[in-house]
Amino acid sequence: MRRHQLFAAFLFFGLLTVSGPLAADGDDGRLDIYWIDVEGGAATLVVTPAGESILIDTGNPGLRDPGRIVEVVTREAKLRSIDHMIITHYHRDHYGGAEALSRSIKIGTVWDNGTFPGMPDDPGEAYFNFQSEQRRVIQPGDRLPLASSRKVPLSFQCLACRKEFIKPTRRTAKNPVICKDSKSKDRDGSDNANSIVMLLGFGPFRFYDGGDLTWNQEARLVCPVNLVGQVDVYQITHHGLESSNNPILLRSLKPRVTIMNNGVTKGCMPEVFANLKATVSLEAVYQVHKNMRPDGTVNNVADAFIANRKEDCDANFIKLSVAPDGTSYDVMIPAHGHKVTYQTTEK
């Protein structure tokens, strides 16, 4: 039995109930981000220099994905609880693991869209009633209450949710050159369009996660003004599907590195790869999984940049670690010994 399968078995029998104070692995002053393999869902773990944790989405229902999350949280990040959980929207591959996860590890504050008029997808009673210390309905502009130092400021802000956006300020950059190329797509009436959009900042470092935000909503983020600014790392939206990852968003954000939380047959669509290739700022694309779609529409980066290269995967994760001053960051695939250092861009 593989390690992650055994871990899921422990989870099922309730032998891995973890609680208590945080116990981060050392005080090295770094900010860490983990992309946990939930095979086409989403689960991104952020660990701050102070040892506070933010889990963005929880993968699919069942025991597999919560088991993998707990394994990374406790064995890799060496934490004993999750301080903040953000559910970007109500699709099963994003909220599905939350209830089982809550039975295995202590969860502090849950941030989500709550219930709202015209809500297209309802996660159900089990989701809204799972155990946590408190629940908050997130609003555009909200910032998570995180410990930060004066020398290297830390921020985690909601830019958009439920198709509502932060208001531009006098300093918000206008975007006329890029916006003239904007083209709409057919409306996505599902809850994808309501995704919570987040921007993490650590000194000069910026990380963007838009959940499954859809193409037309992405355009609103940067046109007529760029509400995001430039970023260093872009989590490829919606697993690499062509209903997201609008090229005007990519051109506006100017990421240097992107991470795709795709599955063996999910994501990695040709149009998305074409948009990524046309993004001149981009230096590297990472995939959680190698694409092995049987229909022939196969797109992959070099194996060195892929965490899981087999159809029957080993649940390998991708880790990013930002230097204490925020001026550089390492992207690693520990299972394969891959490590590349990138410089934070001036913004």
Task: Render pLDDT for 58-100 as a digit per residue (tens, 0 to 9).
Answer: 999 999 999 999 999 999 999 999 999 999 999 999 999 999 9
pLDDT of residue 295: 87
Instruction: Record the tokens describing residue 91, joined without a space.
Output: 């699709």
Query: Which tens digits make up the pLDDT trace of 176-233?
Result: 999 999 999 999 999 999 999 999 999 999 999 999 999 999 999 999 999 999 999 9
- pLDDT tens digits, 21-70: 444 444 789 999 999 999 999 999 999 999 999 999 999 999 999 999 99
87 and 132 in contact (C-beta within 8 Å)?
no
Nearest to 288 by CA among 54, 68, 31: 68
Is the pLDDT at 7 greater than 80? The verdict is: no
Q: Average pLDDT for residues 296-303, to the nearest whole number? A: 90
Helices marked H in the chain: 3-12, 64-71, 92-95, 98-102, 125-129, 176-179, 215-222, 247-253, 270-277
Confidence of residue 12 (pLDDT cuts 50, 70, 90): very low
Percentage above 70 pLDDT, the chain? 93
User: Residue range 228-243: average pLDDT?
Assistant: 97
Sheet strand arrangement including 164-165: 164-165, 154-161, 197-202, 205-209, 233-235, 257-260, 284-289, 306-308
The tens digit of pLDDT for each residue in 111-158 reads 999 999 999 999 999 999 999 999 999 999 999 999 988 889 999 999
pLDDT tens-digit map of 266-290: 999 999 999 999 999 999 999 999 9
Q: Average per-residue pLDDT in the chain?
A: 92
Gap between the Cα atoms of 318 and 239, Å rounded: 15
For the chain, domains (ranges, CATH) are 3-14+24-115+125-338 (3.60.15.10)
How many other CB atoms are found less than 10 A from the CB of residue 6? 12
- pLDDT value, residue 17: 45
Predicted confidence at residue 6, as pLDDT, reads 44
pLDDT of residue 42: 96
Q: Are strands 81-86 and 53-56 parallel, antiparallel or unpaired?
A: parallel
